[in-house]
Amino acid sequence: MQRTTRTAGSTALDASRTTPVARAVSTGQPRLSTGQPGPIPGQPGLTTGQPGLTTTVPREYVHRAAVSEVFLTRWEPWEPGGADCFTVTAQWPRGHALFTPSGGYQDPLLLAESVRQTGTLLAHAEYGVAFGHQFLMRSLSFSAAPDALTTGPAPTEVELRVTCHDMVRRAGRLAGMSYRVTLVRDGVRAATAEAAFSCASPSVYRRLRGERSTTTPLPVPPGIPPAVVGRADPRDVVLAAAGPHHRRHQWQFRVDTSHPILFDHPVDHVPGMALIESARQAAHAATGLPDALPVVLDSVFERYADLDAPCWIDAQPGKPDLTGRIPVGIRGTQRGATVFSAAVVLRPHPDR
C-alpha cells in the first residue's frame, strides 16, 4: 500500500472523512493562510511538487494566530498502527520567547504544546471538524526521559506516533476524542503522552458560555520574582503573591491577555496551556528548585477558568523518591470550585 503524506500543501482524500478545507470553501469559513493566491493548502490531491522541503502545517489547524508558534511540520497515516493511527512530525526551536531551553534541555512544555497541537490538527484535517469550533482540553499528560529533551546544534526534530480512540460523535460529527502519543527522537522512543478534548460548534459554545468578554476587568497584579519560577522575563511569570491571609504555596494566577504566547489570540477564558504553565511555575516555587526539569505531567481540566474572577493556584510538594525526583500536586480553583488539577514530577539539576 502506498503511503500518503500530508504537509502544508497536501491532504489525502478519504471517502469516509470530509476535509475541513473543502468545507470552508462551501460554507464561507475563513480560508487557510497561504500567503499566495490559488489553491488552498490541505485540499485533497494537491502536493508541493518538491518532496523533502519542510514547512509548518497551516496555523489554523493548530489554533495559533502566530505562525511562529506552530511546531508541527507534517502528518501521515501510521500504517503499522492500523486505523485511526498517524505519524506527526514536529520541530522544536533552539530558542523560544517562552519555552526557553535551560541547562542543556528543551522546555518540556514544548512536548505538551506539540501534543495539544496534534489533537486539533487531526480533528480538523482527518476527522472533519469545521473551523470555528471551540476546543476544551479535558486532560493532558506526558512522561519524558531527560535524554528526549537534550538540546543540540540544530533544532530538535521529533516524531509523534498517535493513536486516536474513544471518539465521541454527535449527529455524525466528531465532538471529542482521546489520543495516545509515543514520541520518537532519532529512532528511539523517548516519551509518552495522552490527551483528550471536547469540541463544540459556535452555536453550542454560545449556549454554554453566553457572550463573554475576551478581556479581563481585573488589574494584572505584579508577579513573584522570575528567578523563583525559572523565568527570565517578568512578563512570563503567571503567579502573583496571594497575600498574607492565604495559605502557604498559594498564588493568584496573573491574567495578562496581552501576553503574545499564552494568549496567542482573543479567548473568553484562560487557555489550558496557560494553566499548565502555572502548574509548572507553582512546582518550581513550592520546591525552591527553579532549575529542575519537569519530566512528568498529569493534568485534568474540569471547567473553564473565567477572566473576570481570581483563579488561585495551590501547590503541595511531596517527598523525593529514591532517584531524587520530587512530586508536586497542583490545584487551581475559582469561586470555590476546582478548575484543574495537575501532578508534576521534577528532576533536580544534576549539580544539586
| pLDDT per position as a tens digit, 287-341 | 999 999 999 999 999 999 999 999 999 999 999 999 999 999 999 999 999 999 9
Distance, in Å, from the CA atom of 296 to the CA atom of 283, rounded to the nearest integer, reads 12
For CATH 3.10.129.10, list the domain ranges present in the chain. 20-207, 212-347
Average pLDDT, the chain: 86
Cell of 122: 487531526
Bridge partners, residue 229, by sequence: none
Average pLDDT over residues 21-46: 35
- SS3 at position 131: coil
Neighbours of 39 (CB within 10 A): 12
Hey, what CATH topology would domain 20-207 get? Thiol Ester Dehydrase; Chain A (3.10.129)
Residue with cell 508577579: 223
The yes-or-no verdict on residue 9 having pLDDT over 60 is no
Q: In what order do the strands lie in the sheet with 337-347?
A: 72-77, 85-92, 156-170, 173-185, 188-200, 134-144, 293-301, 337-347, 326-334, 311-317, 250-253, 239-241
Whole-model pTM: value is 0.86
Comparing 14 with 275, the larger pLDDT belongs to 275
Section 1-26 average pLDDT: 41
pLDDT beyond 60 at 152: yes
Between 40 and 266, residue with greater pLDDT = 266
27 C-beta neighbours (distance < 10 Å), count: 11
Q: What is the pLDDT of residues 100-126, one digit of tens each?
A: 998 899 999 999 999 999 999 999 999
Pairing of strands 173-185, 239-241: unpaired
User: Distance between CA atoms of 74 and 15, rounded to whole angstroms?
Assistant: 21
User: Would you report the helix, strand and coil content of the chain in percent, each value rounded to 5?
Assistant: 20, 35, 45
Domain covering 212-347 assigned CATH 3.90.1150.10 in the classification: no
Residue 167 is inside which H or E element, if any? Answer: strand 156-170
